[in-house]
Amino acid sequence: MCKKTGKNKVVEEEQVISVATNLERPCTISESIMQSCKEVKNMHEGKTPKRSLSDLFANIEKWSKEEER
């Protein structure tokens, strides 16, 4: 069972997670969404090659192997 903690403890943990997330994120969420929209638009216009879901999974697998090194 989970041990009940005070509200202050929960707030401190959330702040730590928030700080860690901001340190890892190279851009804001809205910037990331705008970038994704531009990429999709370029794919529809034929300016960049379309990528499939299998390509995404292959990239994820490749990235995870690079992080292990």
DSSP letters spanning 3-63: PP--HHHHHHHHHHHHHHHHHH-SS-HHHHHHHHHHHHHHHHHTSS----HHHHHHHHHHH
Residue-level pLDDT at 18: 66
pLDDT confidence band for 1 (50 / 70 / 90) = very low
pLDDT in tens, 17-58: 666 665 677 788 899 999 999 999 999 999 988 888 999 899
